[in-house]
Amino acid sequence: MRRELRAVLSVRLFTDQKCFGPGIAELLRRVDERHSLRAAAQSMEMAYSKAWKIMRNAEEGLGVKLLDSSTGGKNGGGAVLTDEARQLLSAYDSYCGKLREYADRLLAEEFAFYGDWQ
């Protein structure tokens, strides 16, 4: 029985090092929802130390700050995305969406013969 073909794309952005991809994008989305890097990491079942390291490596590779953080205290700490992080995340999501659309069209074109097999 013939099975449906699909392309699965994963986009990672590099400068002189890997600095942005699906993992950091998801981490940023969750920080935006939870206003905390610790809570975002926990929701991904990731150690806070790993999330912190991933964030620092991304910031270093990109040369921009991604989070504005405040330490605990009376009202507790927290984190919010910088304008640069929001812009990067938006551009990344748009770019990935357009690549998926193109990949789907190209897959249908290049593998049109596959549907003819019986």
Question: Domain spans of the chain?
Answer: 18-107
CA 72 vs. chain centroid, Å, equals 27
28: helix, strand or coil: helix
Q: What is the pLDDT of residues 73-89, one digit of tens each?
A: 556 679 999 999 999 99
CB atoms within 10 A of CB 41: 22
Q: Is residue 27 over pLDDT 90?
A: yes
pTM of the model: 0.87
Question: Are the C-beta atoms of 111 and 17 separated by less than 8 Å?
Answer: no
Distance CA 52, CA 12 (A): 19
Architecture of domain 18-107: Orthogonal Bundle (1.10)
What b/e readout covers 59-79, taking b as 16+ CB neighbours within 10 angstroms? bebbeeebbeeeeeeeeeebb
Q: How far is CA 85 from CA 64, 68, 96, 105, in A?
A: 8, 10, 16, 30
Identity (one letter) of the amino acid at 81?
L
Rounded CA separation 91/79 (Å): 21
pLDDT band for position 108 (cuts 50, 70, 90): very high
What average pLDDT does the segment 3-30 reach?
Answer: 94
